[in-house]
């Protein structure tokens, strides 16, 4: 199963989700059944490593994100991924607008898998440090829910 996480800049939320899901899949012995990537709807940070605050918050919980580099969502992604998961509704709406007609990828809000009251992973970029820890809380819950949903199949 090929999963693409999408946020705005691809330097905070979606790289966190990529790193957390990779680690959780490896621990569960499921890594070989998934291909995990992330991208942004915006292009400002293309080629950059994740935000230093994002990396620091992830490192505290044992996730290393330093090898990741930001990329922008490409129309080809709608053919080469099975599941494209948006961090918030604005990015989901952007993806729905750019989706090529007839492309097969399934589009959804990432946190829909958790069944939790929180629907969106809030953008931490302009806020304080606590926002980066909140991203990790939500992303860890979302990844656990994703594995519960798809880890047993195929
Ligand atoms: P992300 O956070 O979408 O979680 O990567 C942001 C990163 C950069 C900007 C906005 C959000 N920015 O405006 O540059």
Residues 31-69 have pLDDT tens digits of 999 999 999 999 999 999 999 999 999 999 999 999 999
Ligand 1 atom closest to the Cα of residue 91 is: 3
Task: Tell me the CA distances in angstroms from 109 to 6, 106, 136, one per residue in order.
Answer: 10, 10, 16
Domains of the chain (ranges, CATH numbers): 2-150 (3.40.50.2300)
**Alpha-carbon torsion (143, 91, 2, 51), positive or negative:** negative
Q: How confident is the model at residue 153 (pLDDT cuts 50, 70, 90)?
A: low
pTM of the model: 0.97
Mean pLDDT on 141-151: 95
Q: What is the pLDDT of residue 40?
A: 98
Q: What is the pLDDT of residue 27?
A: 97
154 has a pLDDT exceeding 90 = no
7 is annotated as an active-site residue: yes
Nearest CA to ligand 1 atom 13: 9
Q: Give the percent of the chain with pLDDT over 70.
A: 99
Pocket test for ligand 1, best of 125, 127, 133, 138 (most atoms within 8 A of CB): 125
Rounded to the nearest whole angstrom, what is the distance from the C-alpha of residue 145 to the centroid of ligand 1? 24
Contacts of residue 143, Cβ cutoff 8 Å, sequence gap at least 6: 17, 20, 21, 24
């Amino acid at each position: 199963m090929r999963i693409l996480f999408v946020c705005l800049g691809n330097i905070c939320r979606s790289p966190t989700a990529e790193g957390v899901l990779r680690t959780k899949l490896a621990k569960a012995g499921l890594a070989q059944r998934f291909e995990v990537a992330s991208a942004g709807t915006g292009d400002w940070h293309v080629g950059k490593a994740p935000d230093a605050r994002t990396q620091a918050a992830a490192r505290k919980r044992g996730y290393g994100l330093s090898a990741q580099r930001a990329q922008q969502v490409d129309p080809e992604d709608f053919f080469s991924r099975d599941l494209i998961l948006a961090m918030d509704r604005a990015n989901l709406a952007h993806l729905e607008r750019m989706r090529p007609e007839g492309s097969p990828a399934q589009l959804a809000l990432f946190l829909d898998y958790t069944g939790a009251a929180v629907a969106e992973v809030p953008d931490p970029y302009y806020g304080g440090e606590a926002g980066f820890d909140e991203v990790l809380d939500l992303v860890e819950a979302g990844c656990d829910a994703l594995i519960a949903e798809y880890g047993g199949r195929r």
